[in-house]
Each structure stands twice: as structure tokens, then as C-alpha cells.
Amino acid sequence: MPWIFTPDFFSQIIFPWHDTMIPAIFKPLINLFDAMDKTWNKIAADYSFHCNGCEDNCCKSLFFHHTYIEKYYLLHGFNALDHSKKEIILNRAREYCNKTFNQAKEIKSLKIYCPLNENNLCLLYRFRPMICRLHGLPHELNRPGYQSVKSPGCDAGLFNDKTYIKFDRTPFYQKMAQVEAYYRKEIKMRGKIKESVAQMLISK
């Protein structure tokens, strides 16, 4: 069943980490991310899957993100970096966008590393968006009135040779929509967003 927020959900929710450095407006997102990570880790363990990187590296994939709260949470982490590191990342982001979003070419993944990737590690791993957390495992989406849509996992997991373990992303997407609606209302933000991490960084 999808999560349902009561009107006072955001004022009564309890946060065990007491991180005063994170603005309170991001706490519902952090709770959601924590639930995603726990679910992903459990299912990965059930598959005996350990991500050690591969040729089809997800950090080289072109992912678009669709919520403002994920964007500004990522930027919150980015802004905490020192100036020199931020400049290095921004230079990478500009280069990424110049190559990927050249108007003379069709937009497609060029298998360029995300500007936040350094030595095969994410510099803002704690702040990474939803799709970066959920990618890799076989999963399904169940929209009301539509047939269930199942997607395979990454090649590194060799999941075609394994029995499918149910991983329904639908509740996470539903709750993200609720968290985003709350955030937009609080900051009075309208309009759609469709940006890669590189675009998020340089369009702030």
C-alpha cells in the first residue's frame, strides 16, 4: 500500500539522527531515502549482489531527475564543499553539458562520468538522487489501471539467471510525489523540472 501523509505528518515525524546541519525541510526526503536504501540493500543481499562497478557503469548513464527537492538537497551537499572542489566539479559539469546537450545533436548518453564521480566514488553520495539509489536491481512499477511493468537489473548482477525477487518501486515514487508537493508548497515553486545532475549543478 502507498504511504499516506496525515496533515501533521511533517511536524510530528521523528528523526533519529538529529543532524542540525540539514534544514528541517529536507527531513522527509532523508527519511524516504533511508527507506529506499534499506529496501535496496536487503534485496541486493538476497540476490547476493555486490556492486563493484562494471563496463556499463551507472555513473556514466544519462539519468534525468524530476523533483526540486532532490535538486536542492543535492545542492545543499554541494555548497558544503570547499571552493576549490566546487570549481573542479562545476568545470566537469559544464564540459558534460556541452558535450551531452549540444543542440546540433540528438540527446543521448555518451557514457561520460557524472561530474560528481571521482576515483569511482560519488563525492555527494549521501545527497544523491532517487534513481541513483534504486538503479541496478530488477524491479516493477504498478500504476492503477495498467499492467505491471517489470524491468531487468544491470548486466553485472546476472539477474537473468536468478529467480526474480519482488521489488516494487511504486510506493517510493508515490511518496516522492507527496514529499515534492509539500516542498513546492513551502518554497512556492511551480513548473516542471527535468535535469541531469550536471544540469542541476550549473543551473543553481
Packed helices 170-187 and 27-46: angle between N→C axes, nearest 10 degrees: 160
Angle, CA of 154, 155 and 161, to the nearest 5°:
105
23 pLDDT tier (thresholds 50, 70, 90): very high
- In the numeric block, the cell 562545476 is attached to 90
54 pLDDT tier (thresholds 50, 70, 90): low
Query: What local confidence, expressed as pLDDT, does residue 1 receive?
Result: 37
Query: What local confidence, expressed as pLDDT, does residue 4 receive?
Result: 40
Would the pLDDT of 31 be above 50? yes
Query: What local confidence, expressed as pLDDT, does residue 103 receive?
Result: 66
Of residues 156 and 6, the one with the higher pLDDT is 156
Q: Which amino acid is at 107?
A: I
Select from 129, 117, 136, 142 the least CA-distant residue to 60.
117
C-alpha cell at 119: 576515483
Query: What local confidence, expressed as pLDDT, does residue 33 receive?
Result: 98
C-alpha 63: how far from chain center: 9
Would the pLDDT of 163 be above 80? yes
Would the pLDDT of 102 be above 90? no
Query: What local confidence, expressed as pLDDT, does residue 173 receive?
Result: 97
Query: What local confidence, expressed as pLDDT, does residue 72 receive?
Result: 97
Mean pLDDT of 159-179: 96
